[in-house]
Amino acid sequence: MDGKSLPFTSDQIEQIAARYPTPFHIYDEAGIRENARRLVKAFSWAPGFREYFAVKACPNPYIMKVLKEEGFGSDCSSMAELALAERVGITGESVFFSSNNTPAGEYVKARELGAIINLDDITHIPFLERCAGLPEVISCRYNPGPLRGGNHIIGHPEEAKYGFTREQLFDGYRILRDRGVRRFGLHTMVASNELDPDYFVDTADMLFGLTIDIHRELGIRFEFLNLGGGFGIPYRPEEKAIDLEYVSAKTRERYDATIRAAGLHPVNIVMESGRMITGPYGFLVARAIHRKNIYKNYIGLDACMANLMRPALYGAYHHITVLGKEKLPRDHVYDVTGSLCENNDKFAVDRLLPEIETGDILVIHDAGAHGHAMGFNYNGKLRSAELLLKKDGSVEMIRRAETLDDYFATLDFSNL
């Protein structure tokens, strides 16, 4: 048995592939909307709850538009992401600008949009003041360092390049207060792809405690707390998705015991998740073009790590379904490869799958976050198209595939 379900049938994909050649990414609009609503509903108790979608996970304006319709803002961290949000009509305080090592021009753009700026370092206070002026509302990113245990992707907080130390945070807010900033937020992001729900409750609790300490010392009342992103998704069929209702209920208990008890209610609770918003609802669809049997057995696809590099980059597991063979036994062991001249260009290593013939369509699951977005052009590989499977079952191309002309667009051959 396959272990993971799909929002489309084998026949549907064959029809789509007749129109849009493989490989392509396809996103499930109904799934994205339903998941977005589940998140908002779970946290409906929280004052001013808002999710700012971390654009880097899936920087496609059509996906951002769907999420805007669900009430989400955008979490941006670069000039291009700010520009994308602007093009989708997401501006002002619907944009959370959480960057690091930020170039001056990006602060200028963020100020122009009226975005909420989240500072990554205490030295960014005078830097921002010089290049764009201090806004009325500001947030700072907290790095708890050794006060907090690690997470396998982001690593131990004390090894992470992000954020203020605890001491710097107090100094930073004091400076900001004295320079006339009037509205304050506090941010942290200490996990990535974390599946332990209690990790998120502990993170919220950590910020609640800090909120009280900062209020006590500086008299600052936070308007919002940004719990960051980092919700994991079950890439493996045997993994369990985060129970949002559990995280929400436990967070609420902590909120009442800390913020409310200290008389600091209401503080808005916001998030900036990326992976869990689109990850499970995107699929990389590719065709087997070669079978090669040497010391191991290989299935070569018409996609490569330019379309999805997580397996090559992190050794990440992405589930694979061979369309039309979902019910067949997984009794063949394959490496599923791309065509890059890099031996790590593999979607799966020693994977048990049903017997695969050339021409079979393989669907690689959970490619909706950090999939197309991480694409690159090494070896002259071109990025694939992105399609949206709409609520009514129709399909819209929301980004065409790259062509050689795109690849060569920055070259001037006339001076050769």
Show the site string, 150-189: x = touches ligand PLP by CB under 6 A, - = not.
---------------------------------------x
Shortest CB 57 distance to ligand PLP, Å: 5
State how far the Cα of 201 lies from the Cα of 37, in Å rounded to an integer.
20
State how far the Cα of 406 lies from the Cα of 345, in Å rounded to an integer.
23
Confirm or reject binding of residue 275 to ligand PLP (CB under 6 A): yes
Site for ligand PLP in 82-121 (CB under 6 A): 98
286: left (phi over 0), alpha (psi -120 to 50) or beta: beta
Closest listed residue to residue 295, CA positions, set 354, 344, 335, 352: 335
- Select which of 76, 140, 304, 341 is catalytic: 341
Confirm or reject binding of residue 368 to ligand PLP (CB under 6 A): no
Which 3 state secondary structure label does DSSP give 170?
A: helix
Confirm or reject binding of residue 57 to ligand PLP (CB under 6 A): yes
* Residue-by-residue DSSP string for 174-232: HHHHHTT--EEEEEE---SSB--HHHHHHHHHHHHHHHHHHHHHH-PPPSEEE----B-
Confirm or reject binding of residue 43 to ligand PLP (CB under 6 A): no
Q: At what angle do helices 244-255 and 29-42 cross, to 10 degrees?
A: 30
- Select from 65-73, 238-246, 266-274, 407-415 the region that touches ligand PLP (CB under 6 A): 266-274
Question: Of 100 and 168, which has the nearer Cβ to ligand PLP?
Answer: 100
Confirm or reject binding of residue 229 to ligand PLP (CB under 6 A): yes
Question: Of 110 and 288, which has the nearer Cβ to ligand PLP?
Answer: 110
Confirm or reject binding of residue 274 to ligand PLP (CB under 6 A): yes
Confirm or reject binding of residue 75 to ligand PLP (CB under 6 A): yes
Element (H, E) at 26: strand 24-28
Confirm or reject binding of residue 230 to ligand PLP (CB under 6 A): yes
Closest listed residue to residue 225, CA positions, set 253, 265, 263, 261: 265
Is there a catalytic annotation at residue 341?
yes
- Under the rule (CB under 6 A), what is the footprint of ligand PLP? 54, 56-57, 75, 77, 98, 189, 192, 228-231, 272-275, 369
Question: Residues with catalytic annotation?
Answer: 341
